[in-house]
Amino acid sequence: MPDLKFTYDTYQDVRHNLFLYSIPFLVVAGFFTFFFVLPAEHQSTVVRMLDQVSNAQPWKDLAGTGLGLIAFIALAFSMTELFQIHDQWYDKHVIKWRNRYDTDFILPRLIHPFASRTNYRFYEVAETHDFLPALYYPFVGDRDLKIPKNKLVRFYEAVTVYWLTQINEIILLLLAAAIVFYRFQGPDTLDYRTQLLNNCVLVGCAFILNRAWVRSSKEKVRRATEEEIRAIHDDHALLTDLERRLSRICHDYAIPYEHAPEG
């Protein structure tokens, strides 16, 4: 039985929360597909398969609906915990938001106090090398957090909502793909084609609403990130450590860096 407690202390908590949040979306999408997308023949096939499984060990006497729920829970766990499809696959290869966010938003704000000491070469190299593990994560990581805890929790709360919108988008795209598939492979009756058209409009509206939610959630992630960076800049010791790390990176990658005059 999954732990139903929602916390935001670590990134693992974020993944756990996404798992819990995604279950109802997958359940709704699954039953929507069954009742409103699948033709009657395929519905009957699914029912027969569930009946066969429910009569076999270890699922004997478990109702078909219960088996369906277990399948959706397993799918949600696989998407968010095992494969992290929202981050490692969908965002990385399709949306590509996180990479641009790191280089275009976080880095310029993070090194702003020292931006005049380096030049364009820093950003050129940052396009092909990830500097955040050396410059940013040591201050905001779960295990050795340097900034106030509430700043990290606020960021995790915001980014959880953003990743949830990405899971929603993946599910909606899968629904749209199923509708398109059955448009060409399903029955050619007028009633069924009309039903698919209505479903397509419904899924499209849901997609548009979710995209609006994406924009809103991104803005909250930006504000939470700015609070984390401000916490680094406002602490003299952390700011000194950040400068030292930046200087070392510039040295390692032959990037011009003008050190502050001593004294």
Residue 214: inside a domain? yes
- Domain of 94 in residue numbering reads as 84-252
Looking at the structure of the chain, the number of domains it has is 1
Residue 26's H or E segment, with its range, is helix 11-36
Residue 261 has pLDDT above 50, yes or no: yes
* pLDDT for the residue numbered 54: 60
* pLDDT for the residue numbered 55: 63
Residue 74: inside a domain? no
Residue 156: inside a domain? yes
The model scores a pTM over 0.85:
no
Residue 65 has pLDDT above 70, yes or no: no
Residue 27: inside a domain? no
Residue 80: closest CA among 2, 187, 189, 154:
2
Residues of the chain above pLDDT 70, percent = 86
Residue 223: inside a domain? yes
Q: Where are the alpha helices (DSSP H) in 102-257?
A: 107-110, 120-126, 132-135, 137-140, 149-185, 190-234, 236-252
At 78, list the tokens. Answer: 């696989």
DSSP assignment of 218-242, as one string? HHHHHHHHHHHHHHHHHSHHHHHHH
Pick the range with the lowest mean pLDDT from 5-9, 61-65, 231-235: 61-65
More confident call, 263 vs 50: 50
Residue 232 has pLDDT above 90, yes or no: yes
Q: What is the pLDDT of residues 74-106, one digit of tens each?
A: 777 777 765 677 777 787 778 888 889 999 999
Reported as a pLDDT band with limits 50, 70 and 90, residue 204 is very high
CB–CB of 125/255 below 8 Å?
yes
Residue 14: inside a domain? no
Q: What is the pLDDT of residues 128-160, one digit of tens each?
A: 999 999 999 999 988 889 999 999 999 999 999
Residue 248: closest CA among 236, 234, 235, 259:
259
Residue 71: inside a domain? no
Residue 227: inside a domain? yes
* Long-range pairs for 58-61: beta carbons < 8 A, 24 or more residues apart: none
More confident call, 262 vs 165: 165
